[in-house]
Amino acid sequence: MRVSFVCLGNICRSPMAAAVMAHRAAEAGVPVQVDSAGTAGWHIGEPADPRTAAELRRRGVALTHAARQFAAADFARFDLVLAMDADNARNLRRLAPSAHDAAKVRLLREFDAASHDGDRDVPDPYYGGDDGFRRVFEMVDAACLGLLETLRTR
Protein backbone atom coordinates (compact mmCIF):
# COMPACT_ATOMS: atom_id res chain seq x y z
CA MET A 1 0.00 0.00 0.00
CA ARG A 2 1.37 3.39 -1.01
CA VAL A 3 -0.18 6.44 0.63
CA SER A 4 0.47 10.13 0.04
CA PHE A 5 -0.69 12.65 2.65
CA VAL A 6 -1.43 16.07 1.20
CA CYS A 7 -1.99 19.53 2.72
CA LEU A 8 -1.46 23.04 1.37
CA GLY A 9 2.14 23.95 2.16
CA ASN A 10 3.60 20.50 2.99
CA ILE A 11 5.36 21.86 6.06
CA CYS A 12 2.79 21.49 8.89
CA ARG A 13 0.00 18.90 8.61
CA SER A 14 0.98 16.39 5.93
CA PRO A 15 4.59 15.89 7.09
CA MET A 16 3.14 15.20 10.54
CA ALA A 17 0.60 12.73 9.12
CA ALA A 18 3.24 10.89 7.08
CA ALA A 19 5.59 10.63 10.07
CA VAL A 20 2.82 9.42 12.39
CA MET A 21 1.60 6.84 9.85
CA ALA A 22 5.14 5.53 9.29
CA HIS A 23 5.57 5.28 13.07
CA ARG A 24 2.24 3.53 13.68
CA ALA A 25 2.70 1.13 10.74
CA ALA A 26 6.20 0.15 11.88
CA GLU A 27 4.91 -0.37 15.41
CA ALA A 28 2.16 -2.67 14.08
CA GLY A 29 4.37 -4.45 11.54
CA VAL A 30 2.12 -3.40 8.64
CA PRO A 31 3.96 -2.62 5.39
CA VAL A 32 2.96 0.84 4.17
CA GLN A 33 4.89 3.29 2.00
CA VAL A 34 4.21 6.85 3.07
CA ASP A 35 4.81 10.15 1.34
CA SER A 36 3.63 13.72 1.78
CA ALA A 37 3.19 16.71 -0.51
CA GLY A 38 1.46 20.09 -0.77
CA THR A 39 -1.02 21.39 -3.30
CA ALA A 40 0.96 24.67 -3.27
CA GLY A 41 4.63 25.10 -4.15
CA TRP A 42 5.59 27.94 -1.77
CA HIS A 43 7.83 25.88 0.51
CA ILE A 44 9.46 23.43 -1.91
CA GLY A 45 12.68 22.03 -0.45
CA GLU A 46 12.06 23.39 3.05
CA PRO A 47 12.10 21.26 6.20
CA ALA A 48 8.93 20.86 8.27
CA ASP A 49 7.68 23.82 10.28
CA PRO A 50 9.59 23.93 13.61
CA ARG A 51 6.29 23.55 15.49
CA THR A 52 5.52 20.28 13.63
CA ALA A 53 9.07 19.08 14.33
CA ALA A 54 8.74 20.00 18.04
CA GLU A 55 5.39 18.26 18.43
CA LEU A 56 6.73 15.07 16.80
CA ARG A 57 9.86 15.17 18.96
CA ARG A 58 7.68 15.53 22.05
CA ARG A 59 5.72 12.42 20.96
CA GLY A 60 8.79 10.36 20.08
CA VAL A 61 7.99 10.20 16.36
CA ALA A 62 10.90 10.42 13.89
CA LEU A 63 10.78 12.99 11.10
CA THR A 64 12.84 13.57 7.96
CA HIS A 65 11.28 15.94 5.49
CA ALA A 66 11.78 18.19 2.48
CA ALA A 67 8.62 19.87 1.17
CA ARG A 68 7.41 19.15 -2.34
CA GLN A 69 4.38 19.95 -4.47
CA PHE A 70 1.96 17.21 -5.50
CA ALA A 71 2.03 16.76 -9.31
CA ALA A 72 -0.52 15.11 -11.62
CA ALA A 73 2.03 12.38 -12.41
CA ASP A 74 2.18 11.47 -8.69
CA PHE A 75 -1.25 9.85 -8.88
CA ALA A 76 0.28 6.83 -10.67
CA ARG A 77 2.60 6.23 -7.69
CA PHE A 78 -0.05 5.97 -4.96
CA ASP A 79 -3.04 3.82 -4.04
CA LEU A 80 -4.47 6.45 -1.71
CA VAL A 81 -4.09 10.23 -1.69
CA LEU A 82 -5.27 11.53 1.67
CA ALA A 83 -6.15 15.20 1.84
CA MET A 84 -6.03 17.10 5.14
CA ASP A 85 -9.04 19.28 4.28
CA ALA A 86 -11.82 19.72 1.76
CA ASP A 87 -9.94 22.45 -0.17
CA ASN A 88 -6.94 20.20 -0.60
CA ALA A 89 -9.23 17.34 -1.74
CA ARG A 90 -10.97 19.58 -4.30
CA ASN A 91 -7.66 20.80 -5.73
CA LEU A 92 -6.30 17.25 -5.92
CA ARG A 93 -9.39 15.93 -7.74
CA ARG A 94 -9.11 18.79 -10.22
CA LEU A 95 -5.48 17.81 -10.84
CA ALA A 96 -6.20 14.07 -11.26
CA PRO A 97 -5.52 12.82 -14.83
CA SER A 98 -8.41 10.31 -14.71
CA ALA A 99 -11.55 9.42 -12.77
CA HIS A 100 -9.66 6.40 -11.42
CA ASP A 101 -7.01 8.73 -9.99
CA ALA A 102 -9.60 11.18 -8.65
CA ALA A 103 -11.18 8.27 -6.75
CA LYS A 104 -7.90 7.79 -4.86
CA VAL A 105 -8.49 11.14 -3.13
CA ARG A 106 -10.10 10.83 0.29
CA LEU A 107 -10.11 12.95 3.43
CA LEU A 108 -7.69 11.56 6.02
CA ARG A 109 -10.26 11.90 8.80
CA GLU A 110 -12.72 9.59 6.98
CA PHE A 111 -10.59 6.85 8.55
CA ASP A 112 -11.31 8.12 12.07
CA ALA A 113 -14.54 6.34 13.03
CA ALA A 114 -15.17 9.02 15.68
CA SER A 115 -15.23 11.84 13.08
CA HIS A 116 -18.44 13.10 11.48
CA ASP A 117 -19.62 14.10 8.01
CA GLY A 118 -19.10 17.82 7.50
CA ASP A 119 -16.45 17.97 10.23
CA ARG A 120 -13.57 16.11 8.66
CA ASP A 121 -10.97 18.84 8.09
CA VAL A 122 -7.62 18.84 9.84
CA PRO A 123 -7.52 22.63 10.41
CA ASP A 124 -4.55 24.57 9.06
CA PRO A 125 -2.40 25.37 12.14
CA TYR A 126 0.09 27.65 10.33
CA TYR A 127 -1.21 31.00 11.62
CA GLY A 128 -2.09 29.78 15.12
CA GLY A 129 -0.20 28.75 18.25
CA ASP A 130 1.38 25.54 19.51
CA ASP A 131 -1.96 24.16 20.72
CA GLY A 132 -3.05 23.95 17.05
CA PHE A 133 -0.15 21.60 16.37
CA ARG A 134 -1.07 19.49 19.39
CA ARG A 135 -4.62 19.25 18.07
CA VAL A 136 -3.37 18.32 14.59
CA PHE A 137 -1.27 15.55 16.11
CA GLU A 138 -4.24 14.12 17.95
CA MET A 139 -6.52 14.23 14.89
CA VAL A 140 -3.89 12.76 12.62
CA ASP A 141 -2.96 10.02 15.07
CA ALA A 142 -6.59 8.91 15.52
CA ALA A 143 -7.08 8.81 11.74
CA CYS A 144 -3.80 6.94 11.16
CA LEU A 145 -4.84 4.28 13.69
CA GLY A 146 -8.14 3.89 11.80
CA LEU A 147 -6.33 3.76 8.46
CA LEU A 148 -4.00 1.10 9.83
CA GLU A 149 -6.99 -0.97 10.94
CA THR A 150 -8.51 -0.61 7.44
CA LEU A 151 -5.29 -1.72 5.78
CA ARG A 152 -4.92 -4.64 8.14
CA THR A 153 -8.39 -6.03 7.53
CA ARG A 154 -8.56 -5.67 3.75
Residues at the contact surface with ligand 4NP, assessed by CB under 6 A: 7-13, 38, 42, 124, 126
The residue number with the shortest CB distance to ligand 4NP is: 9
Of these residues, 49, 121, 124, 141, which one is catalytic?
124
In the residue annotation, 90 being an active-site residue is answered as no
In the residue annotation, 12 being an active-site residue is answered as no
Torsion of CA 13, 80, 64, 32, to 10 degrees: 130
In the residue annotation, 13 being an active-site residue is answered as yes
**Are 4 and 36 contacting, i.e. CB atoms less than 8 angstroms apart?**
yes
Of these residues, 7, 49, 112, 120, which one is catalytic?
7
**Are 37 and 88 contacting, i.e. CB atoms less than 8 angstroms apart?**
no
Which contiguous run of DSSP H or E holds residue 82? strand 80-83
Name which of 37 and 151 has its Cβ closer to ligand 4NP. 37
Name which of 28 and 61 has its Cβ closer to ligand 4NP. 61
Q: Count of alpha carbons within 13 Å of 117, Cβ hemisphere only? A: 0
Minimum gap (Å) between residue 86 Cβ and ligand 4NP: 13
Q: Which residues are catalytic?
A: 7, 13, 124
